Structure 1
């Protein structure tokens, strides 16, 4: 792989990574979120405004976590931070809109998520993404998010090399969001039919694990990072895609669903952790994905950085306060944390500190 110059810039130790996160990434991510929040506060439609603001409040840590990839190339963070924050904010905003939607229309969800596909295509025209729903007046908020992504992408020197794989991952993400938000009794059948079209590529995964992998933005962010290096070629991009998807991406979202089980039961939302026979199988399957993710990380340039991403994911999610109030989740968490490497414990402590600073 030719990303040697970029690989040399990537942090090689947890201390170096977290120094960059505290000094550069968190302040700049939060400044960009503050800019977007000011725009969101002016959204005329009350429901759209509520969901836009809620997504930035309750899911701020998604943008902060994604900012890790900007920490890997500080010289391009002025491009990477706005891009990562804007794309993640589109994802979180639309997820909120669809979760609490007044509509169950697949065409509506598809059109809303066209904004993500347009955001990663620097030449795509803006559209009326709300055309199929009642709530439509957002004061240009979603267009601003799309434009921010497109403007950043135009500054990435090797974006042409990664664009096909970014588009593929965004397309899978959009498919997932459509299938998981339609009429409840149709969701699982739709997801399983969709999986049948892809299972030959990932025969070792269950349908819910494949779906989880498509719900992650980490592969997209890593491809953005790669595109910030002039040396990145198509082969490099394909290798990143193959080693992030499905295992690193799948681990990300399975952990997210693991800690959200109770609130999803209460809200009647689909949760991919509900489709195992018991907690033992859940632990075994997530544990297996952890090992496969580590193997994939070791096949990439700067494997220490990607290993830190994996350990950081486990620490971030399993240190979440939600874990303490769910006995089954607490037991699975303890088993996953058993014999944790020092790196994971280091990130556990930092996750707690960052949450306390937000409180």
Structure 2
């Protein structure tokens, strides 16, 4: 079957009209609903991390919401689903980054919630059973159940589910290995990469790990599942168009701007494994070109090329860049000879960050 491209925006202006008119207000409304629940979390630490994840990483949900702009008639399903899954991801990342535990079994059980969220038949569990902070007043269960309820409304979800589950499983593996004791992290990550290196033959181990940290391919698969009659073969092609290069670009840019923050926090950063900044720029540039080629296999490749340019614009315009001289130099090199589309999204990224509605 051929995926429908009829309503997918093909120009930056048309896309941003939809983002401003529909995506941003509805993402914000869904985040406000979840915030009201998070504010009632009884445990102080869980409440703090839940609110901090929404305050500090709101743009992850806003960016993910772009996929709903490609199918506006299904946004009532796609936006709550994307926001809920991304919020689980951001919340658990905060819990693991600032964890009172270094127990891999604890991290694995926490991330079982993401696997359950993308399985409409999965029962709820006590995801906090292996840690001291446990009483979230049902917050994580609400996020899981929101995902499951939305997924049940996607007509072709059974065809995309194996690939969503694979990606969520890899994401959970990454979160376990990158948050365990510092002296074990690289050993475990390298052994894990060795097991999966056939999936990403063009990437180095740190780039594979970065690619597994992205939720974008999951969101695209949700979008595809909103169509009738999608086959597993089509779903596999969609997965391959985004994983690993679009996903790898997404998270390498995220790590790029977080280098100083991660250094202070003692967190592992995948941009620190290059011999110098020139090599970092070269590798990100290679991944950009591979991503651009990969998305040509998708219907409406212009939309996905806009996603790639939007990623570069969103991250390289982040205020964190200005305070880091090395990152500022890398950003300038990556933005050199930028196409007009990227500059357009750069301006819109700055505008959205500075808008009163976004505060």
Q: What TM-score results when the alignment is normalised by the length of structure 1?
A: 0.99
Of 186, 189, 194, 1:188 maps to 186
- CA drift of 1:123 comes to 0.2
In the other structure, the counterpart of 1:332 is: 330
Give the match's secondary structure for 2:327.
helix
* Residues in 2 aligned to 1:353 and 1:202: alpha-carbon distance in whole angstroms: 36
- 1:229 pairs with one of 222, 227, 230: 227
CA apart distance, 1:201: 2.7
| Structure 1 position 200, deviation (Å) | 2.4
> Which residues of 2 match residues 196-235 of structure 1 at below 5 A?
196-235=194-233
Partner residue in 1 for 2:81: 83
Provide the rounded CA distance (Å) in 2 between the counterparts of 1:10 and 1:185: 47
1:2–1:231 contact (8 Å) kept in structure 2: no
Alignment of 1:1-359 (within 5 A): 2-3=2-3, 5=4, 7-357=5-355, 358-359=358-359
Contact (CA 8 Å) 1:257, 1:271: kept in 2 or not?
Answer: yes
Bigger Cα displacement from structure 2, 141-150 vs 324-333:
324-333
CA distance in 1, matches of 2:192, 2:153: 35
Q: Which moved further from structure 2: 323-332 or 70-79? A: 323-332
Name whichever of 290-299 and 307-316 sits farther off. Answer: 290-299
SS in 2 for 1:67: helix
1:109 and 1:178 in contact (8 A); partners too? yes
Q: CA deviation at 1:57?
A: 0.5
1:66–1:221 Cα contact (<8 Å) kept: yes
How far off is 1:338 after superposition?
A: 0.8
Aligned-residue Cα RMSD (Å) equals: 0.7
Distance 1:31 1:297 in 2: 31
SS state at 2:303 partner: helix
CA shift for structure 1 position 298: 1.3
The runs of 5 or more residues in structure 1 that have no matched partner are none
Where 1:289 maps in the other structure, the secondary structure is helix
In the TM superposition, structure 1's runs of 4+ consecutive aligned residues that sit over 3 Å from their partners are none
1:319-355 Cα shifts (integer Å, max 9, x gaps): 0011111111111111111111110000000000000
Distance 2:104 2:181 in 1: 9
- 1:90-113: CA deviation from partner (whole Å, max 9, x where unpaired): 000000000000000000000000
State the 1:231 CA deviation.
3.2
In 1, the alpha carbon distance for the partners of 2:170 and 2:63 equals: 21
Q: Secondary structure at the match of 1:330?
A: helix
Structure 2: stretches of 5+ with no match in the other structure: none
Report the secondary structure of 2:196's partner residue. coil
